Amino acid sequence: MKFEIFVTLKKEVLDPQGKAVEGAIQNLGLSNISNIRQGKYFTLEVNDSNEEKATQQAEEACKKLLANLTIEEYSIKKIG
């Protein structure tokens, strides 16, 4: 079972990289674009045909390694 995972900084955590990217976007003249936040994207496969159990294992990977819950949050979506 295949999942995609997004890891992003929590709202209250400053994202200086996102800010720098936003500055460059503004320099391109794309003045309607704002509030850029940078994050991470993962895909992974879980060798378990039970969707609930597979999702739980993906969650565990997020909580234990892929995201640092002090500063980040994650979302999981089944894609195959």
Partner 1 sequence: MKASVIVFPGSNCDRDVQVALQKFQIDTTMVWHQETSLPKSDLVVLPGGFSYGDYLRCGSMASKSKVMNEVIKHAKDGGYVFGICNGFQILTETGLLPGALLRNSKLKFICKNVFIKTTNNQTAFTKKIPENKILSIPIAHNEGNYFASKEEIQSLKEYNQIVFQYCDEEGNISGESNPNGSFLNIAGISNQTKNVLGMMPHPERSIDQLLGGVDGQGIFQSLL
Only one of the segments 24-32, 43-51, 54-62, 64-72 lies at the binding site for partner 1 (rule: CB under 8 A); that segment is 64-72
What is the closest distance, in whole angstroms, from the C-beta atom of residue 40 to partner 1 in the complex?
A: 8
What is the closest distance, in whole angstroms, from the C-beta atom of residue 51 to partner 1 in the complex?
A: 26
Question: What burial class does residue 42 get, using C-beta atoms within 10 Å of its C-beta: 0-12 exposed, 13-18 middle, 19+ buried?
Answer: middle
Restricting to residues 6-45, name those near partner 1 by CB under 8 A. 13-14, 16-17, 20, 40
